[in-house]
């Protein structure tokens, strides 16, 4: 059948894809955290949160890479079943275990700027607009959740694994794309909200000057 992969090609592809997936997600999250550091570095608790999240993301990425390299001993036995190898990792549990911490760190990264924005002395509309700007990353989180849902029902024992994993193979690159797009959109949010002059001005200051200036303007009485 045209749908069927050659022997070992799918497991080998999944193994290689894990490194691409982890690299893309980790570096995108690091870039967002670096942006938070530049924006909110005046707030001590935010700096601590950024440190903690950066360590969590790094540990997650390192854990996935190490686990991927230990799926089978020798590793080649993961995709070449003719080799006598010890494979002690359940692939389905492995993929689910990768996805859950990823979603948790996504949610935590989304929460950091929202907490700061709602602590500023701004009008409700301005807070909502700025929150929406920072919550653009929720699109990536949504795709991660959809991917996890399909992972929960994944059946790797099927005779046609290329068909049973088709939705995972679709949503994994979609998630990677959304992570990159979300990080890029966050880099210049005021360009998309120029009709809301005050909120856009504040967002521009937050992104182009020091956090001290932004907080001083935000806390001026109206």
State whether residue 143 is helix, strand or coil: helix
* CA trace torsion 123, 141, 61, 32 (10° rounding): -30
| Structure-token match 């990264």, residue found | 109
Instruction: Answer whether 156's CB lies under 8 Å from 92's CB.
Output: yes
C-alpha closest to that of 212 among 46, 44, 39, 51: 39
C-alpha closest to that of 201 among 123, 30, 193: 193
* The pTM of the whole model exceeds 0.85: no
Tell me the domain boundaries of the chain. 9-218
What is the pLDDT averaged over residues 102-108? Answer: 93
Which pLDDT band holds residue 54 (cuts at 50, 70, 90)?
very high
Which pLDDT band holds residue 46 (cuts at 50, 70, 90)?
confident
What is the pLDDT averaged over residues 153-170? Answer: 79
What is the pLDDT averaged over residues 81-104? Answer: 86
Of 93-97, 172-176, 209-213, give the lowest mean pLDDT range: 209-213
Per-residue pLDDT tens over the stretch 4-39:
444 456 677 778 888 999 999 999 999 989 888 887
DSSP state, residue 213: H
Q: Report how far residue 52's alpha carbon sits from residue 95's, in angstroms, rounded to the nearest whole number.
A: 24
Q: Report how far residue 78's alpha carbon sits from residue 38's, in angstroms, rounded to the nearest whole number.
A: 43
Instruction: Answer whether 14's CB lies under 8 Å from 98's CB.
Output: no
Contacts of 32 (CB under 8 A, 6+ apart): 109, 137, 182, 183, 186
């Amino acid at each position: 059948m045209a749908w069927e992969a050659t022997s070992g090609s799918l497991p080998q592809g999944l193994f290689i894809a894990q490194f691409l997936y982890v690299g893309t997600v980790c570096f995108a999250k690091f870039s967002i955290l670096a942006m938070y550091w530049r924006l909110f570095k005046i707030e001590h608790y935010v700096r601590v949160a950024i440190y903690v999240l950066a360590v969590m993301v790094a540990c997650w990425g390192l854990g996935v890479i190490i686990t991927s390299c230990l799926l089978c001993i020798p590793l080649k036995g993961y995709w070449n079943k003719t080799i006598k190898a010890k494979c002690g990792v359940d692939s389905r549990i492995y993929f689910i275990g990768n996805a859950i911490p990823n979603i948790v760190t996504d949610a935590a990264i989304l929460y950091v700027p929202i907490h700061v924005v709602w602590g500023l002395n701004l009008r409700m509309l301005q807070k909502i607009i700025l929150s929406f700007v920072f919550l653009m990353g929720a699109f990536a989180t949504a795709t991660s959740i959809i991917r996890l849902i399909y992972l929960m029902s994944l059946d790797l024992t099927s005779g046609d694994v290329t068909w049973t994993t088709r939705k995972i193979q679709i949503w994994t690159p979609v998630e990677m794309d959304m992570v990159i797009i979300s990080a890029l959109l966050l880099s210049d949010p005021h360009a998309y909200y120029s009709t809301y002059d005050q909120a856009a001005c504040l967002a521009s200051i937050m992104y182009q000057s020091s956090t001290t200036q932004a907080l001083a303007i935000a806390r001026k009485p109206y």
